[in-house]
């Protein structure tokens, strides 16, 4: 085929960046829908701040940790200086990335990815974490932890040298968020009343339309997340990625539907939404390499994992209000291994990648959160938890369900 | 003009596929907003499953029924085998469609269309249909009915040979959904309490912001639905389609506003949303051929049809909670005929197409649904209908409107 | 660099038009979330109608006022005839704009901008303006006022000759909307009960998830608003615009967060959303010219302005339910001046532009609204305001919060 013009490649990666941006609204609405009404403003506030902090720290530090330049090939850690400055030897915006996209395009696409892993954590720790300590953790997590492990593969580091494959980030983004979430919920403990002597008491989300909007917007954004990770507008590659991504998501939702119907005799809508998302996470590591048929199998298995994983974490009394550990950690690990099974045929590098990145991320998150816990504290008081974080942290309610007319009457007395 | 590069055409069709995807969230939120609160989870659940089933069955069967290849030109039925396999004689992904887009691009764009016609049905049958039989019907409808009539025109079948014109599917997608909806609501009967001795009792939707989100997202997706149907990035053609589509929608909303104000002395928001959608459905068959001025006329007439059509169906006691038959069937027929009036000047092929596809679809849907009705049953019990499908099918509520703090107190007792 | 193909430029501007379209849903949901529940349908209805009226009037008149052709260079007013007709000397759709995009592409992109300035007004006047007079005002504002001042710069008029710079419309779109809003809230007066003897009584918005969806969708659309204003797919320019836009928004949200925490000791979610939007408005005038570092400073100052501006307007008893004057007027002015400080270094033309456009717009809006006020009236009755506009203008409620099952029981009695 003739070479794809620079401008076309660049345009597609920019559009993909826009699409990944909208995933942040997807996370915000999904998580808001799946928590209790009294903690809705809090989770929305966190999701806005995560994105903003993520973009600014990735500009200042993260991008330069994750892509320190070719000198660091094979390495564990590198840094190319603060802020956005064109790499040495690059004459202009367009003399970059083998002429596939501009330096700023590269930055904005990667920056949109960076904040997603912190958004994953925010759902799992919802309804009981203190706001300011959480934002402190998120800042360090996005600024340091995510770019360091990201460099190991995408920045040309040692996992890349080893042959580890993770196309769009089942491990580098999703399981990183999942490991951070796991460390946090271990240190935080479960919400009051979740695990009782009589067993697990489900605490249902307060707004299913909102959660559904979230799941659909995440899928929508995933066209950019996976499709943009081709890093070019190559017609065959991008169209294959669209097909595998969608078939994986569809198969995930369908098997979760069937498995949870057989297992629980119920048609739980939020479970099916998580199945859909599990399918997306599962397909992400190999979306460019699976056949459509394999994509259906990989997504279907991811969807089947979800109900079992949810039960598993509940058995360990690890309370995750939105199921983020099941969706992003369990299915992220599965998807990464699936590349070794259905794609490259090499399982060992995949296992090494999963374990190395998991260990680093979990330890980083655990240590940072432990220090925060021992100093400023991590968890809100029991009173705040009962009253809800909207009133106690924000002095607001998510909804003003005031009878028609009465409120105006009241204020005009 | 110089030829448009393969990669640019392909990129636009892929982006259009993303946009059609988001129409499924549009349908989900529109329909959820227009039903009663007690059936919200149920309609969201159905819309998620329709999309997933639609994608998987279109992969397995539908795409191959709808585009059986050039041998079937002039025919009524063809099939090119299960799953996605490159057509014979096509060397690679890119040696396809005269070099306009890849095989996978073609599939994913068409697959996103397929599920939309089933989404149209789901709104009309809301609040009283059994979930599992509905999903069975949808599977057959998307897998067989939609691709067969679709082939008659877009697959190069007999209607194409005849000169029938339907640019992006006023008939092939929208009225097909509408005919399926009509068959279903005839067999299902009206919701309890809709038609009383004193006349029609309106059952208002439970969430107008949600319905508004739905209408806007459908319009948003329509840029891809109509714009992508150019099947190339041709600047003149795609930009004309954008203009006619938007002017048609705007004119539709405006005339519905005026007509329903004159007719009912009311400013009914959900009626205006349906007017907007009616304008979009009306413009779809000829969006590539109308002048901007004609587009305004076609959209305006579609918008004027909506209030009369809603009253008409209510007179026949055909209960359609979201107005899908008015929007997609009535305006779909109008838009297809409008091509003969304002576009090609040939009304006869348009009439034949409307009648042939209408007859096939209605009979197919009616027979399948009748068999389901006589065997496993189609309608929920009166008790389930009164309690609502969220509680009885899903054991969930869409909203947990629990007073701040109380719920946590309750579970921590 | 090699020239960018016509088809690629055109495609990007079309995609940008789609993105600006979705800003209208952003405005609709943001404003709906920030008003009281009893006025929700009304604000949604207005936002739908504004878009439709805006598109139709821009087709009929506005586009031809704003881009009257090269003869009017240096002028104050021009008109190139009603409707869409290819300019003289332009052979076809593609022989236009130096071969960068088609005539219809130009129209649809500009048309999507036009309605946004009226959407800005709708938020500020919410909860107390009469529907029909408001729509009359909006029609005149979009049809005449916006295109006339727009021509002064973008149509090649006298401000363009003067060296005034406003890349994507901090002044031409946002402050124009803001000045219109200011004139309207002066003439309308405050909502009942907002300003009491004891001071300002906050009237909180009724739905924070909805407002959050709005803010995110506006940011999402801003990729097209600013990115499309490059008017080509130039990789360096568009990617720089993406970076400055996102960093400006992020910095705006962050400083609003910090400043309002220090100033009010609160973590007000709706304030932070407005900070984010203020950052976006502030960056808009110079998004193509700022460095990433300057973009952060410009956005940060915009975010810092928001809490002070909100307090300032409240001190003047100018009641703006959604903060539109702070976001679009105050930050619009700031962003335009910032171009003179951080960009071109020429502050005088920026000041002249701000003052001239402000004066024209404010006077136009004030006079039109005053005539409406003195004739058909502008403000609803006190009874309507107390009952809410949903019931009194639309005979609808935004939500049907009926207990599960009861409604169906009621209607089936």
Q: In this complex, do B411 and A293 lie within 8 Å of one another by their Cβ atoms?
A: no
Give the tokens for residue C285. 């005038």
Residue appearing with tokens 């009648």: B355
Q: What is the pLDDT of residue A330?
A: 97
Q: What is the mean pLDDT of residues C12-17?
A: 98
Residues above pLDDT 90, as percent of chain C: 83
C93 — pLDDT class (breaks 50, 70, 90): low
Helical H runs in B125-234? 131-140, 146-153, 158-162, 176-188, 208-227
Mutate which of C2, C128, C216, C294 to disrupt the A interface (most A C-beta within 10 Å)?
C216
Tabulate helix, strand, coil % of chain C (nearest 5).
70, 0, 25
What are B399's strand-pairing partners?
A207
B412: which chain A residues are within 8 Å (Cβ-Cβ)? 192-193, 386
Q: How far is CA A207 from the centre of its chain?
A: 21
**Which among C52, C394, C400 is the nearest to B250, CB-wise?**
C52
pLDDT tens profile C103-133 = 999 999 999 999 898 899 999 999 999 999 9
Q: What is the mean pLDDT of residues A343-360?
A: 95
Which chains touch A (3+ CB pairs under 8 A)? Answer: B, C
The answer to which of A88-97, A277-286, A376-385 has the lowest mean pLDDT is A88-97
B40: which chain A residues are within 8 Å (Cβ-Cβ)? 208-209
Q: What is the DSSP letter of A332?
A: H
- DSSP per residue, C95-143: S-GGGTS-HHHHHHHHHHHHHHHHHHHHHHTTTTB-HHHHHHHHHHIII
Question: Comparing A176 with B97, which gets the higher pLDDT?
Answer: A176
Q: Which residues contact C180 (CB under 8 A, 6 or more apart)?
A: C117, C118, C120, C121, C141, C145, C361, C362, C365
Closest-CA distance, B123 to chain C, in angstroms, reads 18
With beta carbons less than 8 A apart as the criterion, state whether B227 and B242 touch. yes
Cβ-Cβ pairs closer than 8 A, A with B, add up to 198
Q: Minimal Cα distance from B100: which residue of A? A: A235
Q: What is the pLDDT of residue A402?
A: 47
- Please indicate if any CB of chain B lies within 8 Å of the CB of C20: no
Closest-CA distance, A25 to chain C, in angstroms, reads 6
B33: which chain A residues are within 8 Å (Cβ-Cβ)? 209
- Please indicate if any CB of chain C lies within 8 Å of the CB of B251: yes
Which chains touch B (3+ CB pairs under 8 A)? Answer: A, C
Residue appearing with tokens 């959160």: A369
- Please indicate if any CB of chain B lies within 8 Å of the CB of C55: yes
Q: In this complex, do A101 and C390 lie within 8 Å of one another by their Cβ atoms?
A: no
Q: What is the pLDDT of residue C31?
A: 97
- Please indicate if any CB of chain A lies within 8 Å of the CB of B108: yes
Q: What 3-state class would DSSP assign to B129?
A: strand
**Which among A108, A396, A400 is the nearest to C239, CB-wise?**
A108
Residue appearing with tokens 């596809």: B357
Q: Minimal Cα distance from C200: which residue of A? A: A411
Give the tokens for residue C377. 């009236």
pLDDT tens profile B269-293 = 999 999 999 999 999 999 999 999 9
Give the tokens for residue B237. 């053609």
The chain-wide mean pLDDT, for chain C, equals 92
| Rounded-to-integer distance, Cα B101 and Cα C48, Å | 36
Indicate if the pLDDT at residue C378 is higher than 50: yes
- Please indicate if any CB of chain A lies within 8 Å of the CB of C19: yes
| Rounded-to-integer distance, Cα B66 and Cα B156, Å | 9
| Rounded-to-integer distance, Cα A65 and Cα B75, Å | 61
Closest-CA distance, C175 to chain B, in angstroms, reads 25
Q: What is the pLDDT of residue C409?
A: 36
C107: which chain B residues are within 8 Å (Cβ-Cβ)? 243
Q: In this complex, do A393 and C293 lie within 8 Å of one another by their Cβ atoms?
A: no
- Please indicate if any CB of chain A lies within 8 Å of the CB of C16: no
With beta carbons less than 8 A apart as the criterion, state whether C37 and A402 touch. yes
Q: What is the pLDDT of residue A401?
A: 59
| Rounded-to-integer distance, Cα C333 and Cα C387, Å | 37
A131: which chain C residues are within 8 Å (Cβ-Cβ)? 267
Which chains touch C (3+ CB pairs under 8 A)? Answer: A, B
Q: In this complex, do C41 and B223 lie within 8 Å of one another by their Cβ atoms?
A: no
Q: Minimal Cα distance from B42: which residue of A? A: A269
C60: which chain B residues are within 8 Å (Cβ-Cβ)? none
Indicate if the pLDDT at residue B343 is higher than 90: no
Q: What is the DSSP letter of B81?
A: -
Closest-CA distance, B361 to chain C, in angstroms, reads 32
B5: which chain A residues are within 8 Å (Cβ-Cβ)? 2, 5, 8
- Please indicate if any CB of chain B lies within 8 Å of the CB of C324: no
Q: What is the pLDDT of residue B405?
A: 34
Write the burial class of residue C89 (CB in 10 Å: 0-12 exposed, 13-18 middle, 19+ buried): exposed
The chain-wide mean pLDDT, for chain B, equals 92
Question: Of B244, B226, B168, B256, which Cα lies nearest the Cα of C56?
Answer: B244
Q: Minimal Cα distance from C14: which residue of B? A: B239
Cβ-count burial B133-166 (b if 16+ within 10 Å, e if not): bbbbbbbbbbbbbbbbbbbbbbbbbbbbebebbb
Question: Of C142, C9, C147, which Cα lies nearest the Cα of C72?
Answer: C147
Angle at A263 between CA A260 and CA A269, to 5 degrees: 25
With beta carbons less than 8 A apart as the criterion, state whether A281 and A335 touch. yes
Q: In this complex, do A239 and B102 lie within 8 Å of one another by their Cβ atoms?
A: yes
Q: At what angle do helices B146-153 and B103-124 cross, to 10 degrees?
A: 120
Residues above pLDDT 70, as percent of chain A: 93
Indicate if the pLDDT at residue B302 is higher than 80: yes
- Please indicate if any CB of chain B lies within 8 Å of the CB of C5: yes
Measured distance between the N- and C-terminal CA atoms of chain B, rounded to whole angstroms: 75
Q: How far is CA B266 from the centre of its chain?
A: 27
Indicate if the pLDDT at residue A403 is higher than 80: no
Give the tokens for residue A25. 């609204």
The answer to which of A24-28, A157-161, A330-334, C94-98 has the lowest mean pLDDT is C94-98
Q: What is the pLDDT of residue A409?
A: 36
Please report, for chain C, the start and end positions of each structural domain, with discontinuous segments joined by +.
6-394
Q: Minimal Cα distance from A241: which residue of B? A: B104
Q: What is the pLDDT of residue A74?
A: 62
Q: In this complex, do A55 and C391 lie within 8 Å of one another by their Cβ atoms?
A: no
Helical H runs in C265-388? 269-284, 292-315, 324, 331-338, 347-374, 382-387
- Please indicate if any CB of chain A lies within 8 Å of the CB of B101: yes
Write the burial class of residue B73 (CB in 10 Å: 0-12 exposed, 13-18 middle, 19+ buried): middle
Q: Over the Cα atoms of chain A, what is R_g?
A: 21
Question: Comparing C320 with B95, which gets the higher pLDDT?
Answer: C320
Q: Minimal Cα distance from C92: which residue of B? A: B236
C384 — pLDDT class (breaks 50, 70, 90): very high
Q: What is the mean pLDDT of residues C292-309?
A: 97
Q: What is the pLDDT of residue C129?
A: 97
Q: What is the pLDDT of residue C72?
A: 61
- DSSP per residue, B261-317: HHHHS---HHHHHHHHHHHHHHHHTTTTTS-HHHHHHHHHHHHHHHHHHHHHHHHTT
Q: In this complex, do C104 and B242 lie within 8 Å of one another by their Cβ atoms?
A: yes
Closest-CA distance, C242 to chain A, in angstroms, reads 7
* φ, ψ of residue A199 in degrees (nearest 5): 120, -165
| Rounded-to-integer distance, Cα A390 and Cα B404, Å | 9
Neighbours of C316 (CB within 10 A): 10
Q: In this complex, do B1 and C401 lie within 8 Å of one another by their Cβ atoms?
A: no
| Rounded-to-integer distance, Cα A302 and Cα C401, Å | 37
Give the tokens for residue B224. 């891809």
| Rounded-to-integer distance, Cα C297 and Cα C305, Å | 12
With beta carbons less than 8 A apart as the criterion, state whether B182 and B329 touch. yes
Q: What is the pLDDT of residue A313?
A: 97
Sign of CA dihedral A271, A273, A276, A278: negative
Neighbours of B204 (CB within 10 A): 18
| Rounded-to-integer distance, Cα B307 and Cα B290, Å | 24
| Rounded-to-integer distance, Cα A64 and Cα A58, Å | 8
Question: Of C375, C317, C323, C397, which Cα lies nearest the Cα of C130?
Answer: C375
Closest-CA distance, B337 to chain A, in angstroms, reads 34
- Please indicate if any CB of chain B lies within 8 Å of the CB of C91: no
| Rounded-to-integer distance, Cα C239 and Cα A16, Å | 12
Q: What 3-state class would DSSP assign to A228?
A: helix
* φ, ψ of residue B167 in degrees (nearest 5): -50, -65
Q: In this complex, do C208 and A396 lie within 8 Å of one another by their Cβ atoms?
A: yes
Cβ-Cβ pairs closer than 8 A, A with C, add up to 200
Helix (H) / strand (E) element for B115: namely helix B103-124
- Please indicate if any CB of chain B lies within 8 Å of the CB of A169: no
Interface of C with A in 203-242 (CB under 8 A): 203-209, 212-213, 215-217, 219-220, 223, 227, 233-236, 238-240, 242
Q: At what angle do helices B235-264 and C40-57 cross, to 10 degrees?
A: 130
Domain spanning A6-394, CATH class: mainly alpha
- Please indicate if any CB of chain C lies within 8 Å of the CB of A271: no
Closest-CA distance, C355 to chain B, in angstroms, reads 34
Q: In this complex, do A209 and B15 lie within 8 Å of one another by their Cβ atoms?
A: no
Question: Of B198, B189, B286, B207, which Cα lies nearest the Cα of B240?
Answer: B286
Q: Which residues contact A210 (CB under 8 A, 6 or more apart)?
A: A29, A30, A32, A33, C209
Q: What is the pLDDT of residue C406?
A: 36
With beta carbons less than 8 A apart as the criterion, state whether A90 and A158 touch. no
Q: What is the pLDDT of residue B117?
A: 87
């Amino acid at each position: 085929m003739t070479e794809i013009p620079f401008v076309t490649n660049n345009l597609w990666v920019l559009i993909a960046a826009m699409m990944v941006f909208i995933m942040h609204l997807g996370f915000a609405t999904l998580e808001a829908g799946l928590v209790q009404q009294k903690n809705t403003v809090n989770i929305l506030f966190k999701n806005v701040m995560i994105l903003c902090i993520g973009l600014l720290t990735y500009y200042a530090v993260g991008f330069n940790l994750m892509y320190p330049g070719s000198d660091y090939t094979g390495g564990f850690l590198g840094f190319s200086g603060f802020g956005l400055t064109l790499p040495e030897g690059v004459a202009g915006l367009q003399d970059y990335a083998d002429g596939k996209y501009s330096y700023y395009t590269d930055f904005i696409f990667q920056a949109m990815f960076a904040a997603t892993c912190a958004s994953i954590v925010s759902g799992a720790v919802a309804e009981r974490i203190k706001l300011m300590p959480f934002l402190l953790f998120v800042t360090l997590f996005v600024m340091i932890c995510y770019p360091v492990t990201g460099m190991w593969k995408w920045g040309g580091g040692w996992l890349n040298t080893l042959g580890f494959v993770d196309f769009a980030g089942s491990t580098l983004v999703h399981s990183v968020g999942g490991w951070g979430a796991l460390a946090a919920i271990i240190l935080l403990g479960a919400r009051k009343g979740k695990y009782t002597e009589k067993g697990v008491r489900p605490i249902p989300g307060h707004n299913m339309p909102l959660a559904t909007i979230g799941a659909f917007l995440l899928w929508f954004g995933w066209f950019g997340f996976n499709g943009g990770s081709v890093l070019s507008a190559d017609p065959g590659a991008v169209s294959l990625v669209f097909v595998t991504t969608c078939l994986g998501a569809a198969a995930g939702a369908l098997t979760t539907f069937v498995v949870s119907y057989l297992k629980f005799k119920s048609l739980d809508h939020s479970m099916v939404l998580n199945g859909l998302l599990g399918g997306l996470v599962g397909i992400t590591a190999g979306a460019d390499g699976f056949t459509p048929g394999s994509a259906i199998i990989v997504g279907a298995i991811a969807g089947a994992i979800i109900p079992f994983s949810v039960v598993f974490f509940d058995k360990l009394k690890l309370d995750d209000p939105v199921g983020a550990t099941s969706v992003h950690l369990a299915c992220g690990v599965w998807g990464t291994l699936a590349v070794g099974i259905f794609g490259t045929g090499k399982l060992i590098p995949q296992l090494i990648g999963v374990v190395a990145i998991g260990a680093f991320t979990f330890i980083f998150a655990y240590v940072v959160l432990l220090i925060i816990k021992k100093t400023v504290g991590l968890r809100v008081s029991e009173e705040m938890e009962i009253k809800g974080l909207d009133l106690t942290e924000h002095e607001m309610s998510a909804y003003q369900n005031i009878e028609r007319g009465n409120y105006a009457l009241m204020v005009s007395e």
